[in-house]
Chains A and B, each alone.
Chain A
Amino acid sequence: MTKALTIRNLSKTYANNVKALNGINLEIEKGDFFALLGPNGAGKSTAIGIVSSLVNKTAGMVEVHGFDLDTQKDQAKSCIGLVPQEFNFNVFEPVFEIVVNQAGYYGIPRKKAQQRAEELLKQLGLWEKRRDMARELSGGMKRRLMIARALVHDPELLILDEPTAGVDIEIRRSMWVFLEEINKQGTTIILTTHYLEEAEALCRNIAIINKGEIIENTTMKTLLAQLDIETFVLDLKESIEQVPVVEGYTISMRDSSTLSVEVNKTQTINEVFDELTRLNLHVTSMRNKSNRLEELFVRLTGEHVVED
Chain B
Amino acid sequence: MTLQQQYIAFKTIVIKEILRFSRIWVQTLVPAVITTSLYFLIFGNLIGSQLSAIDGYSYVDYIVPGIILMSVITNSYGNVVSSFYGHKFQHHVEEMLVSPMPNIVLLGGFVVGGVARGIVVGSVVTIVAMFFTELHFENTLVISAVVILTAILFSLAGFVNAVYANSFDDISIIPTFVLTPLTYLGGIFFSIEMLNSFWQNIALFNPILYMINAMRYGMLGVSDINITTAFIIIVLFTVTLLWFCLYLLKNGIGLRT
Taking CB as reference atom, which chain B residue is nearest A78?
B100
How many A-B pairs with Cβ below 8 Å? 84
Additional pairs, 15, CB under 8 Å, beyond known A15-B257, A78-B100, A104-B9: A53-B256, A77-B100, A84-B94, A88-B90, A89-B90, A90-B86, A102-B95, A104-B11, A105-B12, A105-B95, A105-B101, A106-B99, A107-B4, A109-B8, A149-B95
Contact of A88 among B1, B2, B91, B102 (CB under 8 A): B91
Are B256 and A105 closer than 8 Å at their CB atoms?
A: no
Are B257 and A107 closer than 8 Å at their CB atoms?
A: no
Are A104 and B90 closer than 8 Å at their CB atoms?
A: no
Taking CB as reference atom, which chain B residue is nearest A102?
B95
Most buried by A among B90, B96, B252: B90
Are A107 and B98 closer than 8 Å at their CB atoms?
A: no
Kindly list chain A residues whose C-beta atoms are within 8 Å of the C-beta of B252.
Answer: 56
- A7 within 8 Å of B (CB atoms): no
Are A49 and B257 closer than 8 Å at their CB atoms?
A: yes
Are A77 and B12 closer than 8 Å at their CB atoms?
A: no
- Cα distance, A54 to B12, chains bound together (Å): 21
Kindly list chain A residues whose C-beta atoms are within 8 Å of the C-beta of B16.
Answer: 101
- B6 within 8 Å of A (CB atoms): yes
Are A91 and B100 closer than 8 Å at their CB atoms?
A: no
Question: Count of chain B residues with Cβ under 8 Å from any Cβ of A?
Answer: 29
Are A104 and B94 closer than 8 Å at their CB atoms?
A: no
Are A107 and B1 closer than 8 Å at their CB atoms?
A: yes
- A14 within 8 Å of B (CB atoms): yes
Are A107 and B8 closer than 8 Å at their CB atoms?
A: yes
Fill in one digit per residue for A86-103: 1 if any B CB lies within 8 Å of its CB, else 0.
Answer: 111111000000000110
Are A104 and B257 closer than 8 Å at their CB atoms?
A: no
Kindly list chain A residues whose C-beta atoms are within 8 Å of the C-beta of B142.
Answer: none
- B92 within 8 Å of A (CB atoms): yes
Kindly list chain A residues whose C-beta atoms are within 8 Å of the C-beta of B18.
Answer: none
Most buried by B among A54, A80, A82, A108: A54
- A74 within 8 Å of B (CB atoms): yes
Are B8 and A108 closer than 8 Å at their CB atoms?
A: yes
Kindly identify, within residues 91 to 125 of chain B, every residue whose CB is under 8 Å from any CB belonging to chain A. Answer: 91-92, 94-102
Are A105 and B96 closer than 8 Å at their CB atoms?
A: yes
Main secondary structure of the interface of A (DSSP, over half): loop
Are B257 and A56 closer than 8 Å at their CB atoms?
A: yes
- B5 within 8 Å of A (CB atoms): yes
Kindly identify, within residues 61 to 105 of chain B, every residue whose CB is under 8 Å from any CB belonging to chain A. Answer: 86-87, 90-92, 94-102
Are A54 and B8 closer than 8 Å at their CB atoms?
A: no
Kindly identify, within residues 173 to 218 of chain B, every residue whose CB is under 8 Å from any CB belonging to chain A. Answer: none
Are A107 and B94 closer than 8 Å at their CB atoms?
A: no
Kindly list chain B residues whose C-beta atoms are within 8 Å of the C-beta of A187.
Answer: none
- Cα distance, A31 to B91, chains bound together (Å): 30
Are A104 and B97 closer than 8 Å at their CB atoms?
A: no
Interchain nearest-CB distance for A228 vs B (Å): 41
Main secondary structure of the interface of B (DSSP, over half): helix
- A73 within 8 Å of B (CB atoms): yes
- Cα distance, A106 to B101, chains bound together (Å): 7
Interchain nearest-CB distance for A16 vs B (Å): 10
- A260 within 8 Å of B (CB atoms): no
Ordered by A's residue number, 15 sampled pairs between the chains whose C-beta atoms are within 8 Å are A15-B257, A53-B97, A54-B94, A56-B251, A56-B252, A75-B100, A77-B100, A78-B100, A82-B94, A86-B91, A87-B91, A90-B87, A105-B12, A105-B13, A107-B9
Are B4 and A54 closer than 8 Å at their CB atoms?
A: no
Kindly list chain B residues whose C-beta atoms are within 8 Å of the C-beta of A149.
Answer: 95
Are B99 and A77 closer than 8 Å at their CB atoms?
A: yes
Interchain nearest-CB distance for A97 vs B (Å): 8
Kindly identify, within residues 212 to 257 of chain B, every residue whose CB is under 8 Å from any CB belonging to chain A. Answer: 251-252, 256-257
Kindly identify, within residues 41 to 89 of chain A, every residue whose CB is under 8 Å from any CB belonging to chain B. Answer: 49, 52-56, 73-75, 77-78, 80, 82, 84, 86-89
- Cα distance, A105 to B97, chains bound together (Å): 9
Are A105 and B94 closer than 8 Å at their CB atoms?
A: no
- Cα distance, A106 to B13, chains bound together (Å): 12
Are B257 and A14 closer than 8 Å at their CB atoms?
A: yes
- Cα distance, A80 to B95, chains bound together (Å): 12
Taking CB as reference atom, which chain A residue is nearest B24?
A92
Kindly list chain B residues whose C-beta atoms are within 8 Å of the C-beta of A89.
Answer: 90, 92, 95
Interchain nearest-CB distance for A82 vs B (Å): 5
- Cα distance, A105 to B102, chains bound together (Å): 10
Are A54 and B92 closer than 8 Å at their CB atoms?
A: no
Contact of B95 among A56, A88, A109 (CB under 8 A): A88
Are B8 and A90 closer than 8 Å at their CB atoms?
A: no
Kindly list chain B residues whose C-beta atoms are within 8 Å of the C-beta of A91.
Answer: 90
Contact of A107 among B90, B97, B101, B251 (CB under 8 A): B101
Are A53 and B8 closer than 8 Å at their CB atoms?
A: no
With contact pairs A77-B100, A90-B90, A107-B2 given, residues A55 and B256 touching in the complex (Cβ less than 8 Å): yes
Kindly list chain A residues whose C-beta atoms are within 8 Å of the C-beta of B101.
Answer: 105-107
Most buried by A among B4, B8, B92, B99: B99
- Cα distance, A102 to B100, chains bound together (Å): 11
- Cα distance, A179 to B97, chains bound together (Å): 24
Interchain nearest-CB distance for A62 vs B (Å): 14
- Cα distance, A88 to B96, chains bound together (Å): 11
- Cα distance, A84 to B100, chains bound together (Å): 17
Most buried by B among A15, A73, A107: A107
